[in-house]
Amino acid sequence: MEVILKSVSDTEDLGQVIGATAPTKALIILSGDLGAGKTTLTKAIAKGLGVKEHIKSPTYTIVREYDRMNHMDVYRVGGGDLFEIGLDEYLEQDKVNIIEWGDLIDERDLPEDFLRIHITGSGDLERTVEISGGEEWTKLQSQLGKLGLMMR
């Protein structure tokens, strides 16, 4: 499904619904160009999940852990050394795992069911967001319908 985000506030609405409907142990793979809004969306997802801690971009640390969310950025790791960052162990935790640049990871290294979100656009332009997920995410689909964001 495709959603159009005209402003940061639309991105915040989308993220909060994702966070509020995410199954426990959900995996969310975020992709899109530099400055597309992956970190902005992650902060909103955290809000929807009820994470109270301050979210900082994991660009340099690769992984940042919060009480109910792990936030990763594999831009510098690419598809390589995921064992080194302990990806498997994070995926086993009862937390939502969000991976910026997660499209660089070979799908064979990921569990079967995850939410894939690709953001197109940067700067002041509106964003087009392509969202796809398995069975686990049907609740999100129905909630998004109620959100009033433009969809096609």
Ligand X SMILES: Nc1ncnc2c1ncn2[C@@H]1O[C@H](COP(=O)(O)OP(=O)(O)OP(=O)(O)O)[C@@H](O)[C@H]1O
Q: Does 36 bind ligand X (CB under 6 A)?
A: yes
Asked if residue 39 binds Mg ion (CB under 5 A), the reply is yes
For residues 21 and 40, which CB has a smaller minimum distance to Mg ion in the complex? 40
Check residue 38 for interaction with Mg ion (CB under 5 A): yes
Which residue in 11, 16, 21, 70 binds ligand X (CB under 6 A)?
11
Closest contact distance (angstroms) between CB of 30 and Mg ion is: 8
Beta carbon nearer to Mg ion, 16 or 39: 39
Cα-based torsion angle of the residue sequence 120, 124, 125, 128 in order, rounded to the nearest 10 degrees = 40
Q: CB of residue 135 vs ligand X: minimum separation in angstroms?
A: 28
Q: Report the SS3 class of residue 103.
A: helix
CA gap 91, 93 in Å, rounded: 6
Q: Does 32 bind ligand X (CB under 6 A)?
A: yes
Distance linking the first and last C-alpha atoms of the chain: 7
CA distance 62 to 56: 11
Asked if 8 is part of the footprint of ligand X (rule: CB under 6 A), the reply reads yes
Please give the C-alpha separations between residue 44 and each of 2, 52, 87, in angstroms, as whole numbers.
Answer: 18, 11, 23
Could you list the residues that contact ligand X (CB under 6 A)? 5, 7-8, 10-11, 32, 34-40, 59, 100, 127
